Structure 1
Amino acid sequence: MYTVYAHLAYLSLSVAATAWVARTLSRNGRVFLADTFGHNEALADAVNNLLVVGFYLINVGYVALALKYGPRPNDMAESIEAMSTKVGLVLLVLGAMHFFNLYVFARMRRKALLRNQKPPVMPEQFVTPVGALAAE
């Protein structure tokens, strides 16, 4: 019976954590995406929604697969240990995905900023280096 309760607690905590992280990233990442895509709000919202769907698919899929693995608990202490291990792994996966997304979008933003940067202008005058004057 401990196994059923441990599985239910694991599923509840993992899906709740996934939903909370997805909502937080979606809400706060929208501004970042809008800036990355040149303030094209429609494109930023579309990419944000696609990221949330992918985020849910990967994390809920991982949660479902990880449910099967690990020892079967025989008492309450083993149930808590098994559940904490599985929830901890889910949180690590969520954190890794978050940092990977930040890395990818930081690179995209850097490229967008470079693409929108004005070309350099020619200088109006030149300064002669001090060493060059002494050589003459």
Structure 2
Amino acid sequence: MHPAFNFSAYMIYLPVVIVVTWLVAWILFKNSKIFMIDIFHGKQELALATNKLFETGFYLLNIGFAFRIMEIGQHLETPRELMEVLSTKLGGFFIYLGMMLFLNLYLFFRGRRISKARQHHTDPAAGLHPLS
């Protein structure tokens, strides 16, 4: 009889999802600061605070989802079963994490587009052309 590999699966799964979530969040929110500053028209304090709130929500949603899908409902008895379950769990989580990354990018670009449109409509010089 082989030892159960369930505990090993959890001990691999948890650090991987936490580290990958941290890495994706670090890259996303380090680079999104410039979008937030642009969206908030140079109001750096407001932009950085909003960016930090988005980052906190990103962590809560993604780590929460990782814990939610963590359960392994079968008894793993071979290294092959361990690898197959981990690949399914991690692969599914990474697809979800990628979708969340692109959702955040969409929100940043949408916010920037709306901000630019509002700025254009409220700028009294926006309707003036140099040759008119």
Q: Does the pair score TM above 0.5?
A: yes
Q: For 1:8, give the aligned amino acid.
A: M
Aligned partners of 1:114, 1:72: CA distance in 2, in Å?
56
Consecutive unaligned residues in structure 2, runs of 5 or more = none
Larger Rg: 1
Amino-acid identity (%): 33
| Residue in structure 2 matched with residue 82 of structure 1 by the alignment | 85
Q: For 1:96, give the aligned amino acid.
A: M
1:16-55 equivalence runs, <5 A: 16-55=19-58
**RMSD value, Cα:** 1.7
Deviations 1:86-118 (A, max 9, x none): 111111111111111111221111111112224
Query: Which residue, out of 100, 112, 119, partners 2:126?
Result: 119
Structure 1 length-normalised TM: 0.83
Runs of 4+ in structure 1 displaced over 6 angstroms?
Answer: none
Answer yes or no: is 1:61 the counterpart of 2:64.
yes
Structure 2 length-normalised TM: 0.85
Aligned partners of 2:106, 2:73: CA distance in 1, in Å?
32
30 and 70 in structure 1: CA distance in 2 versus 1, 3 angstrom threshold = farther
Q: Secondary structure in 2 aligned to 1:72?
A: coil
Deviation at 1:39, TM superposition (A): 1.3
**Aligned residues, how many?**
124
Aligned partners of 2:62, 2:37: CA distance in 1, in Å?
25
CA contact (8 A) 1:70 1:82 kept: no
Deviation at 1:69, TM superposition (A): 4.5
Deviation at 1:121, TM superposition (A): 3.6
